């Protein structure tokens, strides 16, 4: 059974960089069948896609966040990571990592447990 385990700090200061890691177990992050992505959900609001990447390193990002987002992969550790720079209070949200099917569907079939990240001094 595939599992995605998230790790990273729950509190980040304004203007600093948010960093989260997602460790995949029960399957390989190097599969050509899947993308690996990040989604966030501000308190009381809907889901917002941040970006996704392929094991080869190719990425695609939400245009509204693209200038501040970096998603990277470490195939040796079966992990992928999110960095969001210059955070403000508006970036306070529950952040999820998830696997999506490659191709024209791009549905997310496995999700991490979620990490509440609060931006505050």
Partner 1 sequence: SYVLTQPPSVSVAPGKTARITCGGNNIGSKSVHWYQQKPGQAPVLVIYYDSDRPSGIPERFSGSNSGNTATLTISRVEAGDEADYSCQVWDSSSDRVVFGGGTKLTVL
The answer to the question of residue 111 lying near partner 1 (CB under 8 A) is yes
What does the alpha-carbon distance between residue 6 and residue 36 come to, in Å, rounded to a whole number? 13
Question: CB of 98: closest distance to partner 1 in angstroms?
Answer: 8
The answer to the question of residue 54 lying near partner 1 (CB under 8 A) is no
Among 21, 30, 62, 70, binds partner 1 (CB under 8 A): 62
Question: CB of 121: closest distance to partner 1 in angstroms?
Answer: 27
Q: For residue 20, give the nearest of 71, 89, 55, 56 by alpha carbon.
A: 71
What does the alpha-carbon distance between residue 31 and residue 116 come to, in Å, rounded to a whole number? 28
What does the alpha-carbon distance between residue 18 and residue 118 come to, in Å, rounded to a whole number? 10
For residue 57 the two structure tokens come to 């390193």
Query: How many residues contact partner 1, by CB under 8 A?
Result: 23
For partner 1, the binding residues (CB under 8 A) are 37, 39, 46-49, 52, 60, 62-63, 96, 100-101, 104-109, 111-114
């Amino acid at each position: 059974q595939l599992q995605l385990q998230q790790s990273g700090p729950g509190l980040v200061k304004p203007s600093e960089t948010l960093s989260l890691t997602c460790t995949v177990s029960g399957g390989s992050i190097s599969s050509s069948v899947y993308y690996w992505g990040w989604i966030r959900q501000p308190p009381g609001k809907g889901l917002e896609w941040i970006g996704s990447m392929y094991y080869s390193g190719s990425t695609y990002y939400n245009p509204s966040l693209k200038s501040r987002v970096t998603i990277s992969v470490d195939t040796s550790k079966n992990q992928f990571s999110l960095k969001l720079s210059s955070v403000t209070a508006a970036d306070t949200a529950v952040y999820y990592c998830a696997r999506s099917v490659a191709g024209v569907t791009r549905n997310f079939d496995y999700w991490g447990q979620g990490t509440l990240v609060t931006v505050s001094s």
